[in-house]
Amino acid sequence: MYVVKNLIVGCGLSGIVMANRIANELDQEVLIIDSKDHIGGTCFDYKDVNGITVHKYGPHIFRTNSERIWHLLSKYTDWYPFMHRVLGIIDGIEVPIPFNLNSLYKVFPPQKAKELEIKLIKEFGFNKKIPILELRKTEDRDLNFLAEYIYNKVFLGYTLKQWGFTPEQLDPSVTGSVPVYISKDDRYFQEKYQGIPSEGYTKMFEKMLDHPKIKVLLNTDYSKAKDTINYERLFYTGAIEEFFNYKFGKLPYRSLDLQFRTYDTNRFQNAAVVNYPENYDFTRITEYKYFLNEKSEKTVLSFEYPQDFEEGKNDRIYPILNKENQAIYDRYLEEAKKLPNVYFLGRLGAYRYYDMNRTIAGALELFDSIKK
């Protein structure tokens, strides 16, 4: 029988940040359990036999505007500065993604591209981000033509593969996360701080958990271990519906079948990530040696095939946000509020499409509320 003040279920990003803060700021003991055989959740990475750092669950590029978050993580890692640039194959042409003014000149003749650029800036302004569904509402004939082109060439096919729904069937926050960018800025993200931990995410997590007050148990399923642990506070980062034994029904998720391949070549593609909205069944190819500029005569790629989450077969990765699923989650949330000293956080606990920055922010916001 374990007796512990703080129990954290899930040794992913939110659980690690919460444990780190409780141990370092409150000087309290923490037990973290996770059903996986490694720490870090879907941010886990490792060095392969070729000396290339591979992200087991697909690419993770850290970025934030928060000095607090950046400086917290920087205590446990040096950073390799990395400005993420994504290409998409549209009509066989490599085009910057998100679609921006540079993309415009890649796919249209110069005169047509110039006309559209002038109209876009006049209508929306320069350096502005416009969700595709908003751009489609424009009444200008030329801009409407452009909106339909981008919608069909960039968004529709990719969204159908990624989510199994059209853009209109999803919460606006999903399609709005990759807007049309009226700018010459080719970066995928514009945050002040961007980079990859120089020794990888897993090494950073190991240092964050290296504290005498923190104990980690892997290969430990909460449903089987909960009766053997006494705790004062519980932080649950798993699926909220699983915690409540699915009493209001299951929440759907998308998962990924990541197929890794090693090629005997220095470089395979012209960017770390290349999207394929129109071709093939996979959504994108990631080439991992780009992230830390690692040198090897070989290269490691992952091909991403989205699929529905199935219990026992794959991992919950992306909550599917729409009104119907939100209504189910809200019922679980009301149930959660009845439990004293039990907190739900992270992408699965909050049923939100969080990136790493927002995941950490959520953990810190919760920590701030409980330390008072």
Is residue 142 located within the same domain as residue 94? Answer: yes
Is residue 224 located within the same domain as residue 366? Answer: yes
Is residue 237 located within the same domain as residue 152? Answer: no
Do residues 157 and 164 make contact, with C-beta atoms less than 8 angstroms apart? no
In a domain, 298, yes or no: no
Is residue 90 located within the same domain as residue 175? Answer: yes
Is residue 213 located within the same domain as residue 134? Answer: no
Is residue 100 located within the same domain as residue 174? Answer: yes
Cis check for the bond before 98: say yes or no (omega within 30 of 0): yes
In a domain, 101, yes or no: yes
Query: Please, where are the H alpha helices in 125-152?
Result: 132-135, 141-150
Domain count, the chain: 2
**CA separation (Å) from 360 to 20, 66, 71, 356, 366?**
11, 10, 12, 6, 10
Is residue 10 located within the same domain as residue 155? Answer: no
- Domain containing residue 240: 2-39+209-250+320-371
CA atoms within a 13 Å half-sphere pointing along the CA-CB vector of 141: 0
Could you give the CA distance from residue 49 to residue 32 in angstroms, rounded to a whole number? 30
pTM for the model? 0.94
Tokens of 110: 């110069």
Give residue 107's Cα distance to chain centre.
Answer: 29
**Residue written as token pair 């490694």:** 38
- Percentages helix, strand, coil for the chain (3-state, rounded to 5) are 35, 25, 40
What's 22's domain CATH number? 3.40.50.720
In a domain, 225, yes or no: yes
Could you give the CA distance from residue 73 to residue 197 in angstroms, rounded to a whole number? 9
By C-alpha distance, which of 202, 193, 241 is closest to 76?
A: 202
Do residues 180 and 127 make contact, with C-beta atoms less than 8 angstroms apart? no
Is residue 229 located within the same domain as residue 157? Answer: no
In a domain, 204, yes or no: no
Query: Please, where are the H alpha helices in the chain?
Result: 13-21, 67-74, 101-107, 110-124, 132-135, 141-150, 157-163, 172-175, 201-208, 222-225, 240-243, 323-336, 346-349, 356-371
Is residue 217 located within the same domain as residue 358? Answer: yes
Is residue 243 located within the same domain as residue 108? Answer: no
Give, for all 372 residues of the chain, the pLDDT tens digit: 788 999 999 999 999 999 999 999 999 999 999 999 999 999 999 999 999 999 999 999 999 999 999 999 999 999 999 999 999 999 999 999 999 999 999 999 999 999 999 999 999 999 999 999 999 999 999 999 999 999 999 999 999 999 999 988 888 878 767 799 999 999 999 999 999 999 999 999 999 999 999 999 999 999 988 889 999 999 999 999 999 999 999 999 999 999 999 999 999 999 999 999 999 999 999 999 999 999 999 999 999 999 999 988 999 999 999 999 999 999 999 999 999 999 999 999 999 989 999 999 999 999 999 987
